[in-house]
Amino acid sequence: MHQAKDCFQVHPGAPLRGQTIVPGDKSISHRAVFFSAIAHGTAHVRGWLPAGDTEASLRSAQALGVAIERHSPTEMTIHGGTLHKPEAPLNLVNAGTGIRLLTGIMAGQAFESVLDGSSQLRRRPMKRITEPLKLMGADIESTNGYCPLIVRPAQLHGIRYDMPMASAQVKSAILLAGLYAEGETLVTQPGPARDHTERMLRAMGADLTDTGTEVTLRPGAPLRAVDFTVPGDLSSAAFLVAAALILPGSEVTLTGVSLNHTRTGILDVFQQMGADLTVTETGLEAGDPVGTIVARHSTLKGVQVGGEVVVRMIDEFPIFMVAALHAEGETFVRDAGELRVKETDRLKVMSDELAKMGAVITETADGFIVQGPQKLRAATVYGHDDHRISMSLTVAGLAAEGHTTVLDARCASDSFPGFAATLQGLGADVVEEAIADA
Ligand code: S3P
């Protein structure tokens, strides 16, 4: 059992008001490190996310011999080129994106590597990447379908792979291995999984075409380092947007947020629920449209969520569940079974934790049903070492009656360093506290 050594003390009452930025996009930050590591030349990266997951990827790149000059937590220069055999297993800690992308890269190297992580990461399925990589000729030994993964040198060849699930991590692992393969690699996807890999590799000179349903990579074009400015993470912004929508008197402005279409499902669904949101594009960063989101307290109504939009908001379902409890009428989510294999089984964990706050949620195999609005009451809830659970429960606490304690809350910094401080800056009463060992 994980020892809870930290918590957020959450007192409701205050509206959220003001303007802020959110930390850099996690998906783009992992990719900026790995792609620059294997590119020719020097890349300057700004706006990088210094969080638990991405730091694990950065340390792995360093363990592979990549020279990285850190100018500040968010800014670095990466000297790419040839990777070298690491002296020890690469430890990706809790980072699912980190291990899956890096396995694709390792499959094409001339040395053996071992990829591993925390006990949480060791429970996440890896067959979804090892199977297609083996079809490409990769030599990978897993631990019954889980990490640690041992990756040995092998000659890879391109394949056509019809992904059974819409996963950007799987798609990216195959495309990255495809850079080292003989012949073309083609991946089809059943839904619009995030396309950062495609955009970034193309910007770096890869010969890649993307029709939205089919991505084709032809190896051979050298990957050239390019500078990246990482935009703000919409998945982090979603917690502040949801809090503003459900807390009376709130108005929050978030600037510099990525508005990549493969990520904005949550904004579309909130708007369908009647949310008072203004979204304005202001420019482009790392190939993504970037803009400002203004979110004001709103009377939300229940909504049906299923099909294509699910993958476009896959990381937002924990916070969406909190918002749905505050909407009038029924909210019905289907096609979201992937939530069961994230850092935790997010359908079960969120339903169970919110039940401690009095919520009535019907969990289904691939989603949930709630009848709203429901008034939550304070409770002591548990973050389960899952950043998005910890942050969603904190927002639930801000809208509850009484004083909520979120135990094991520090994992918020796996994707959103300074989450409690950002909420405080907007007027919320959230205090991070250390708890002495039991
Ligand atoms: C990510 C892809 C998604 C997402 C994860 C980040 C990425 O996972 O849930 O937080 O950066 O590629 P899947 O690709 O497994 O759906």
Long-range CB contact pairs, 361-368, < 8 A, 24+: 361/321, 361/325, 364/334, 365/337, 366/334, 366/335, 366/336, 366/337, 367/305, 367/306, 367/332, 367/333, 367/334, 367/335, 367/336, 367/337, 368/321, 368/333
27 CA to middle of ligand 1, Å? 7
User: Which residue's entry shows tokens 């409770």?
Assistant: 379
- Answer for the pair 367, 322: CB distance below 8 angstroms, yes or no: no
Given 315, 385, 408, 414, which residue is catalytic? 315
Q: Does the beta carbon of 27 sit less than 6 angstroms from any atom of ligand 1?
A: yes
Cα pseudo-dihedral 54, 388, 302, 338, rounded to 10: 70
User: Does this chain's domain 3-24+231-437 share its CATH topology with 26-229?
Assistant: yes
Residue 169 CA, closest ligand 1 atom number: 14
309 CA to middle of ligand 1, Å? 14
Residue spans of the domains in the chain: they are: 3-24+231-437, 26-229
CA gap 8, 378 in Å, rounded: 13
Secondary structure class of 430 (helix, strand, coil): strand
Task: Determine the residue of 97, 121, 315 to mutate for testing ligand 1's pocket, defined as the one with the most ligand atoms within 8 A of the Cβ atom.
Answer: 97
pTM: predicted TM-score of the whole model, two decimal places: 0.97
- Among left, alpha and beta (phi > 0; psi -120 to 50; other), residue 72 is beta
Q: Which residues contact 1 (CB under 8 A, 6 or more apart)?
A: none
Segments of the chain scoring below 70 in pLDDT = 1-5, 436-438
pLDDT for the residue numbered 286: 73
Per DSSP, 163 falls in state -
CATH of domain 3-24+231-437: 3.65.10.10
208 CA to middle of ligand 1, Å? 20
Secondary structure class of 175 (helix, strand, coil): helix
Q: Does the beta carbon of 194 sit less than 6 angstroms from any atom of ligand 1?
A: yes
Class in CATH terms, 26-229: alpha beta
- Answer for the pair 258, 282: CB distance below 8 angstroms, yes or no: no
**Which segments of 280-339 does DSSP mark as H helices, in order?**
309-312, 317-325
pLDDT for the residue numbered 192: 97
Q: Whose CA is nearest to atom 4 of ligand 1?
A: 315
pLDDT for the residue numbered 436: 65
227 is annotated as an active-site residue: no
- Answer for the pair 285, 230: CB distance below 8 angstroms, yes or no: yes
Q: Which of 81, 263, 103, 80 is nearest to 174 (CA)?
A: 103
pLDDT for the residue numbered 435: 76
